């Protein structure tokens, strides 16, 4: 779609209108309005209402405000102290009011219980009201807009008693670029973040370099991307924020390569690999990739929305996983705020490292053949299905508590974990890993002996005078020399009764 003349006239290399160069493909809204983002009261917003009523309001006097920003907050009615805090940064030619009305964050603030801070820049700072993610005088620790945002966090913690350990930041486009910078500048402040159609942290340090970041591969290694984060707060060693990355595959304003660079940057910072440890499909043609740490907890995730142009993914409706309203750069695909909030752990108040259902227990390799391994585990309450991973990659999604992995190489060891998946598709914590080895070939080995000798040989166990096959737990009768059974080994340390079968 061609540029509107009014926007085209403003669009220069200095303006750096990330998110405003073209109308986003698929948007049902009219062309964006050039909204002033001054500190005045937003249109049609009850800015003087008491925050305990759940109203959107302006907050003044939040600090020295070197970035010349305005602060707006939304707090659900009756929110207790100790609740989380989310900072939500609008895109270019948008305002705090636009983000309050369209992004869907207030729905989940009410549902899950947290405060939202909506910072607002102005056309006095940037001709298209873009946050200055590309300017080291405004987007670095201790200066400019970055410092103003952190002053807002401090003010909100004071006003609402927010939990300083559960502060998160998200943003769209230029707001996404600023969110990435804030995660790098203040990893001691933010427990997690989300970059929606945005840029890697400190990709550009001048206005002249910004366009290149938006449009092309910068040719940096993951270590070089990670160094940009580590150098933003020298001497800091962690813990690092948990990061969600959202990208439309058809975005021509902030090209999809930025999502790849963001993944490389934050997996490097976390010290984990660039191969996903799990993948799942979401509504709106969305694919989510997980990147887990050594404990099996996803700390980086990438959401790719097929066919979506430039904007924030929303999905209006009353469903549990629906949110927001369409508008300029608010695109009806999938509710990004819902999935981001759950990734951070805001849905159950467990913090950024423990969202979703608990890990299944009792994962066991119940049987093996030269080409397959059968698994079993204990059921998890509330699970609609289970995600089975072999060596970190998803291989099955059974609804029950058993799964057989086929097509494997003979005589080869494989590692497995299982996670429960709830009805909304959210994946819980992973189980402890189990390693199983396929048989080398030929027929399973059988052993015929008395129960007494089976126990002595380690193929069975005894309890209360009775004998049970090792692994399968099948009852074999009394533990003595008079009762004889045949046991067939079907896996490492796993035997089944096979009388008359061998």
Enzyme catalytic residues: 173
The H or E element containing residue 395 is: strand 393-396
List of residues 6+ apart from 464 with CB closer than 8 A: none
Strands 402-405 and 372-376, how do they pair?
antiparallel
Rg (CA), the chain: 27
Distance, in Å, from the CA atom of 411 to the CA atom of 404, rounded to the nearest integer, reads 16
Distance, in Å, from the CA atom of 474 to the CA atom of 496, rounded to the nearest integer, reads 7
List of residues 6+ apart from 344 with CB closer than 8 A: 168, 191, 192, 194, 242, 244, 352, 355
Stated length of the chain: 502
**Residue labelled with tokens 């999809």:** 256
DSSP 3-state of 407:
coil
Residue 447 · residue 476 · CB < 8 Å: no
Angle, to 10 degrees, between the axis of helix 174-185 and the axis of helix 144-160?
Answer: 80
List of residues 6+ apart from 105 with CB closer than 8 A: 74, 86, 88, 99, 116, 170, 337
DSSP 3-state of 403:
strand
Per-residue burial over 226-260, b = 16 or more CB atoms within 10 Å of its CB, e = otherwise: bbbbbebbeeeeeebbbbbbbbbeebebbbebbbb
Distance, in Å, from the CA atom of 376 to the CA atom of 12, rounded to the nearest integer, reads 60
């Amino acid at each position: 779609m061609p540029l509107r003349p009014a926007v085209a006239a403003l669009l220069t290399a200095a303006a750096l209108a990330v998110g405003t160069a073209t109308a986003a493909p698929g948007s049902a809204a009219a062309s964006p309005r050039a909204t002033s983002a001054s500190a005045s009261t937003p249109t049609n917003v009850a800015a003087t209402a008491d925050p305990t009523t759940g109203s959107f309001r302006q907050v003044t006097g939040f600090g020295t405000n070197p970035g010349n920003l305005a602060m707006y907050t939304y707090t659900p009615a009756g929110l207790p102290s100790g609740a989380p805090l989310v900072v939500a940064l609008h895109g270019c030619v948008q305002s705090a009011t636009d983000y309050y009305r369209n992004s869907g964050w207030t729905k989940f603030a009410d549902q899950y219980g947290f405060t939202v801070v909506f910072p607002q820049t102005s056309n006095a700072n940037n001709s298209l009201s873009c946050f200055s993610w590309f300017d080291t005088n405004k987007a670095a620790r201790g200066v400019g807009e970055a410092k103003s945002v952190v002053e807002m966090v401090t003010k909100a913690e004071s006003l609402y008693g927010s939990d300083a350990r559960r502060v998160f930041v998200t943003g769209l486009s230029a707001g996404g670029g600023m969110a990435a910078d804030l995660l790098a500048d203040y990893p001691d402040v933010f427990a997690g973040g989300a970059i929606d159609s945005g840029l890697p942290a400190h990709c550009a340090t001048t206005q002249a370099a910004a366009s290149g970041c938006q449009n092309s591969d910068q040719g940096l290694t993951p270590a070089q991307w990670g160094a940009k984060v580590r150098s933003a707060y020298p001497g800091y060693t962690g813990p690092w924020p948990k990061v969600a990355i959202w990208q439309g595959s058809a975005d021509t304003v902030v090209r999809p390569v930025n999502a790849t660079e963001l993944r490389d940057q934050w997996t490097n910072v976390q010290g984990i690999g660039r191969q996903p440890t799990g993948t799942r499909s979401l509504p709106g043609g969305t694919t989510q990739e997980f990147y887990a740490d050594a404990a099996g907890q996803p700390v980086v995730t990438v959401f790719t929305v097929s066919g979506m142009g430039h904007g924030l993914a929303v999905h209006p409706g009353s469903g549990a996983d629906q949110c927001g309203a369409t508008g300029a750069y608010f695109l009806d695909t999938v509710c990004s705020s819902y999935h981001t909030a759950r990734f951070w752990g805001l849905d159950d108040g467990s913090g950024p490292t423990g969202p979703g259902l608990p890990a299944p227990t009792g994962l066991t390799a119940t049987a093996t053949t030269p080409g397959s391994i059968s698994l079993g585990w204990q059921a998890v309450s509330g699970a609609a299905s289970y995600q089975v991973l072999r060596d970190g990659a998803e291989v099955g999604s059974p609804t029950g508590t058993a799964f057989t992995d086929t097509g494997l190489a003979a005589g080869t060891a494989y590692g497995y974990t299982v996670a429960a998946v709830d009805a909304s598709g959210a994946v819980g914590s992973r189980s402890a890993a189990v390693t199983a080895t396929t048989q080398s070939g030929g027929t399973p080995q059988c052993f015929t002996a008395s129960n007494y000798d089976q126990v002595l040989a380690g193929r069975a166990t005894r309890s209360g005078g009775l004998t049970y096959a090792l692994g399968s737990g099948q009852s074999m009768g009394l533990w003595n020399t008079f009762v004889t059974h045949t046991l067939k080994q079907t896996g490492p340390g796993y035997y089944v009764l096979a009388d008359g079968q061998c």
